[in-house]
Amino acid sequence: MDRICLLPVEETAADVLARAVAAGVRRVIDLSAASVTAGPHSIT
Q: Which pLDDT value is given to residue 39?
A: 60
pLDDT for residue 1 is more than 70: yes
Q: Which pLDDT value is given to residue 13?
A: 87
The tens digit of pLDDT for each residue in 18-42 reads 999 999 999 998 887 765 566 655 5
Smallest Cα–Cα separation from 30: which of 8, 1, 9?
8
Q: Which pLDDT value is given to residue 9?
A: 83
Residue 9: give the domain boundaries: 3-38
27, 2 contact by CB (below 8 A)? yes
Q: Which pLDDT value is given to residue 18?
A: 94
**Domain count along the chain:** 1
Which residues does residue 30 pair with via DSSP β-bridges, in sequence order?
6
- Higher per-residue pLDDT: 44 or 30: 30
CA distance 44 to 25: 36
